A = this chain, B = another copy of it.
Amino acid sequence: MSATRANLADPKLDLVLERVVDVPAELVWLAWTSPEHLKKWFTPAPWKTVDCELDLRPGGQFRTVMQSPEGQQFPTVGCYLEIVPKRKLVWTSALEPGYRPAKRTAVEGLECSELLFTAVITLEPHGKGTKYTATALHRNEADAKKHLELGFHEGWGKALDQLVELAKTM
């Protein structure tokens, strides 16, 4: 399933990670939607995801707690928007669960806590593997640049490596 008209990336505003991975879409989906699995790959090492809650429905909570190598914890919360099993997952940090506009108060010490974006993950079967596309939609060029400089490609890429490695053991 390719990006629909509603989620077209704008090259000035958005960041896209696209890669063909050699695990089936069903396992990629499971890694994204099962809390036990997500904790194992979601945050590039040496950071960890120490907790998460996935209320997988439009308006439901997508909450994770990342932990730095020093042990400091950073909870983040988002809201799921669209769920197409095994094909598409959309959530945003601009809304809290229940669709309430997000407070966007800064979390001390975490620069990206103020970064608003909507994430669109699409999975397309590709031979025995999957074409994986992760798009981050931003409100303006400044936010896109900030997300790029925070290491979007490295971070999301390394997390995807971890996901693929995990999927091969599933």
- A99: chain B residues within 8 A (beta carbon): 6-7, 81-82, 90, 92, 118, 120, 137
Once the chains bind, are B95 and A94 in contact (CB under 8 Å)? Answer: yes
Interface residues of A in 3-42 (CB under 8 A from B): 4-8, 13
CB contact between A98 and one of B6, B94, B100, B116 (< 8 Å): that residue: B6
Q: Given the interface contacts A59-B82, A82-B58, does A117 sit within 8 Å of B101 by beta carbon? A: yes
Q: A95-B94, A118-B95 are in contact. Are A139 and B7 (CB under 8 A)?
A: no
How many Å from the CB of A132 to the closest CB on chain B?
A: 19
Contacts A6-B59, A59-B7, A95-B95 given: A118-B137 contact, CB under 8 Å?
A: no
Contact partner, A118, options B7, B13, B90, B101, Cβ 8 Å? B101
Q: Produce 1/0 per residue, A78-97, CB < 8 A to B.
A: 00011000000010111111
Classify chain A: how many residues form its interface, as a range: 35 or more
The reply to whether A102 and B98 form a contact with Cβ atoms under 8 Å apart is no
A140 within 8 Å of B (CB atoms): yes
Shortest A105–chain B CB gap in Å is: 9
* A79 CB, nearest partner CB in chain B, Å: 9
A116-169 CB contacts (< 8 Å) to partner B: 116-118, 120, 137-140, 143
Residues of chain A whose beta carbon lies under 8 Å from any beta carbon of chain B: 4-8, 13, 57-60, 81-82, 90, 92-104, 116-118, 120, 137-140, 143
